[in-house]
Structure 1
């Protein structure tokens, strides 16, 4: 099934987001057919700020590694890393040549403002012209940046420019989600929130894709701190994968899921 087809299965595509090869490989081993990247995770792992266009090289390097995995890969390219549509198009073509299935392109900028929608349309159109098979997920940060702007106008503008999907993170309630779905002619992507609707409920609202964003990366950081404190205080160490299980994730052709943490084959 193609990456685009995964958005039309009758239930939302749950897209977990990875920040390195191991985090992606373990998700593939668990059966997820598509993996996204998290710009926060990629940036933080490199000691760089997120959303400032500073991680172009790191993003490309990660894409080269992840496209070796037996799954669809979609890459978060922030605002495109360039203002020039031709440069953004060249990046899209390079990613497509690596085997990347899609990109996430956002209109939020590091000055806390939204890009001009007409310019964002130019970036989307340039990407589609350079790499027609690349699934362009156009993200608008109207709610993320709390601008007070209704996202519907941007959703319509971006799909008119050729976006294959639209992404509005931070929608505050079911009514807002339903309004975006009603306005869109392409699959709508939302960001999962532990305090928001369940995956099934989002499907009932018409959402076609649910991203985890930086959630897994932040959960991993919390686990690092929790485990270190457990050792320091003599507390109980949470179950973790064995060395060999993690090593196996980097073995060429490995697709079988490693033993789950806490299983008899995995030291605790």
Structure 2
């Protein structure tokens, strides 16, 4: 699928349910289950490789995983590039070009950064991030690189004061800077979701959370994309832990062939 077709998936009445993956096996499972698109989870890939989330892994390591997924799975693929793996927009644009060359049709880029010294995540100034984004989209346009740019704003994820108003402000800034979609993780309140949807022409993406409304309600609210984040990866790790624990308790491999309790 090309980028135009992937973009059209964000304009359907029924939201695009994006399966987040971290390796070829998870991507192939999503394909087998009938998902129409996949997206990598940077947090899941980082953890799989032994890194903390927040650009601790090298872009080259991410690119290797992405190449294998793209080579083995036919579903349209979006890639989470965190905050761009650089403060230089030309470097980040170069990374996006490299992804496009292996068949990636979309990217996620976020407006917060993790301080590698203390692990704390903080929001980037909205105007500054919009300038960074505009420089990236201008570079891609110049080189005729067409990818769906889903911009993640971490206003709700970080629980900042006045998160709803700040999200509306950033939606405007990022739209002007060339964003194709707006991703607001951790927003769960129906009224807040509806307000964000109605404040922008960008298709709005929400993420799996315990209190997130059901898919039918999200459809009625006008949400266009629903992501899983790293939650499926985490749940599978918990299941793995439980199964290993059952093996040790049973002193037998019988739990391998039984449901996890």
TM-score by length of 2: 0.87
Partner of 1:48: 51
* Deviation at residue 30 of structure 1 after TM alignment: 1.2
Higher deviation after alignment, 92-101 or 76-85? 92-101
Q: Aligned in 2, Cα 1:121/1:46: closer, same or farther, shift over 3 Å?
A: same
Match of 1:190 among 159, 181, 206: 206
Aligned-pair distance for 1:29?
1.3
Counterpart of 1:66 in structure 2 is: 69
Structure 1 Cα separation of the partners of residues 127 and 90 of structure 2:
15
In structure 2, what is the Cα distance between the partners aligned to 1:175 and 1:168?
A: 14
- C-alpha separation between the residues in 2 aligned to 1:206 and 1:160? 21
Give the superposition deviation at 1:167. 0.5
Scaled by the length of structure 1, what TM-score is found?
0.84
Distance 2:257 2:82 in 1: 34
The whole-number CA distance in structure 1 between the counterparts of 2:55 and 2:145 is 27
> Secondary structure of 2:25's match?
helix
Does the 8 Å contact 1:88/1:123 carry over to 2? no
How many residue pairs are counted as aligned between the two chains? Answer: 241
Q: Deviations over 1:27-46 (max 9, x none)?
A: 11111121101111110111
| Equivalent residue number for residue 237 of structure 1 | 255
Structure 2 distance, partners of 1:239, 1:7, is 40
Give the whole-Å Cα distance in 2 for the aligned partners of 1:204 and 1:59. 36
Compute the displacement of 1:173 (Å): 0.6
CA distance in 2, matches of 1:93, 1:133: 9
**Structure with greater helix share of residues:** 2
2:109 is matched with which residue: 91, 105, 111? 105
Provide the residue aligned with 1:246 in structure 2.
none
Query: Structure 2 vs 1, CA of residues 55 and 223 (structure 1 numbering), >3 Å: closer, same or farther?
Result: farther
Structure 1 residues 136 and 53: CA distance shift in structure 2, 3 A: farther
Match of 1:32 among 35, 45, 56: 35
Deviation at 1:238, TM superposition (A): 6.8
Aligned to 1:258: none
**Structure 2 CA distance for aligned equivalents of residues 138 and 47 of structure 1:** 26
Instruction: Give the equivalent residue in structure 2 for 1:244.
Output: none
CA displacement 1:173-231 (0-9 Å, x = unmatched): 11111111011111000012233200111111000000000011011101101111121
Whole-Å Cα distance in 2 between the matches of residues 70 and 210 of structure 1?
20
Partner of 2:118: none
Q: CA deviation at 1:76?
A: 0.3
In the alignment, which residue of structure 2 is the partner of 1:209? 225
Relative to structure 2, which stretch is displaced further, 109-118 or 211-220? 109-118
Unaligned runs of 5+ in 2: 116-120
Would you say the 8 A contact 2:247–2:256 is kept in 1? no
